[in-house]
Chain A
Amino acid sequence: GESVGLHLPTLSVQEGDNSIINCAYSNSASDYFIWYKQESGKGPQFIIDIRSNMDKRQGQRVTVLLNKTVKHLSLQIAATQPGDSAVYFCAEKRNSGYSTLTFGKGTMLLVSP
């Protein structure tokens, strides 16, 4: 498959563990944050989003936490599965009406059976 990043931070976990992927953002004007998952050979796939007026949002097996004080975003994946292996990107957007996303560098998650 295609490599989407040769020098990404890597998180290696065992199947069934909980995973936490972190992201620091820089723009305090951003008011919408999104996590994307990118598998080899595919485009980024939406996982979960959160607005800046929230500090936590839960989805199916995933939770996003937002700490605006330190400009930090995290993605928690419960009971990680081998199919979760991918590169994870955080992205931020300003509420300007534009659809422009600013992406972080990405973290590679490797899940061992």
Chain B
Amino acid sequence: KAGVTQTPRYLIKTRGQQVTLSCSPISGHRSVSWYQQTPGQGLQFLFEYFSETQRNKGNFPGRFSGRQFSNSRSEMNVSTLELGDSALYLCASSLGGANTEAFFGQGTRLTVV
């Protein structure tokens, strides 16, 4: 079965712009989580959506937001981009219960110039 699909793979944006990233989870998975990966901070949790509801949120400013659709696909949005937002953004999907395996996509590489 198809894995987690993230689009686009690469993005270049300028400071002050906004960006929307997309994630299609594995069929049947209802949980989608987003992570930011940078060389300095490693992998940091952004937020998790389950059945169209945000059920957990990491320690990121309000410029970072997301949503989940009825088909479990998820988008995350970053507004007023800053240079420090340059990172690999990873999406993970899972069935959503405790102790269930999370499957990651290949990520979207965002560069802010």
Contact = CB atoms under 8 A, between A and B. Distances in A.
Given A5-B39, A7-B39, A105-B42, A98 B99 contact: no
Nearest to B107: A43
Interface majority SS on A: helix, strand, loop or mixed? loop
Q: Is the interface of B mostly helix, strand, loop or mixed?
A: strand
Nearest to B58: A100
B88 A2 contact: yes
A2 B101 CA distance: 25
Interface stretch (A21-29, A65-73, A74-82, A88-96): A88-96
Interface stretch (A11-19, A45-53, A55-63): A45-53
Interface residues of B, number: 33
A9 B102 CA distance: 25
Given A6-B39, A89-B43, A44 B48 contact: no
Contacts of A98: 48, 55-56
Interface of B: 4, 31, 33, 35, 37, 39-40, 42-45, 48, 50, 55-56, 58, 88, 90, 92, 94, 96-107, 109
Contacts of A89: 42-43
Contacts, number: 80
B43 A99 contact: no
B42 A96 contact: no
Interface in A26-41: 31-32, 34, 36, 41
Contact residues on A (Cβ < 8 Å of other chain), bracket: 20 to 34
Contact of B37 (A4, A32, A46, A91): A4
Nearest to B41: A105
26 contacts: A2-B109, A3-B39, A4-B37, A4-B39, A5-B39, A6-B39, A7-B40, A32-B98, A42-B106, A42-B107, A43-B90, A43-B92, A43-B104, A46-B101, A46-B103, A49-B99, A93-B98, A95-B99, A97-B97, A99-B48, A100-B33, A100-B45, A101-B35, A103-B35, A103-B43, A106-B42
